[in-house]
């Protein structure tokens, strides 16, 4: 039993270290990677895994926002709390292109604004 707990702890820690390194590597994308169309597998993974998890996160974040609203109002940071717990996840869930990374989606928004 102790061995399983140690293995799960090691797995969890390695996953957290891997996730901590992701934002740093996401900024190193060049123009070819940003403009590249998402593959079918990326779209499938996005539809089957990412979107349902983001939707669940949006619902949980909305619940947390409602619960913490009195404290946020007293602290004067309702907008920041809403942006963090609800708006960011909702944008990723409902407006991000299918299979695109967050960086690709932001870049496409910038290009669309420049064309106007």
The string over 65-97, giving b where at least 16 C-beta atoms fall within 10 Å of a residue's C-beta and e elsewhere, is beeeeeebeeeeeeeebbeebbebbbebbeebe
pTM of the model: 0.63
Give the angle subtended at the CA of 39 by the CAs of 23 and 105, to the nearest 5°: 45
pLDDT in tens, the chain (116 residues): 678 888 888 877 777 776 665 554 445 555 555 567 788 888 898 999 999 999 999 999 999 999 999 999 999 999 999 999 999 999 989 988 888 877 777 777 777 778 87
What pLDDT score was predicted for residue 26? Answer: 47
Question: In Å, how far from its chain's centre is CA 19?
Answer: 12
pLDDT at 25: 46
Q: What is the pLDDT of residue 12?
A: 75
pLDDT value, residue 81: 94
């Amino acid at each position: 039993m102790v061995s399983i707990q140690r293995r799960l702890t090691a797995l969890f820690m390695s996953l957290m270290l891997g996730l901590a390194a992701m934002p740093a590597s996401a900024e190193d994308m060049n123009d070819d990677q940003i403009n590249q169309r998402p593959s079918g597998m990326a779209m499938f993974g996005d539809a089957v895994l990412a979107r349902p998890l983001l939707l669940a996160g949006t619902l949980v974040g909305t619940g947390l926002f409602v619960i913490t609203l009195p404290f946020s109002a007293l602290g004067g940071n309702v907008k920041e709390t809403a942006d963090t717990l609800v708006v960011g996840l909702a944008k990723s869930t409902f407006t991000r292109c299918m299979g695109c990374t967050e960086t690709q989606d932001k870049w496409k928004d910038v290009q669309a604004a420049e064309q106007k």
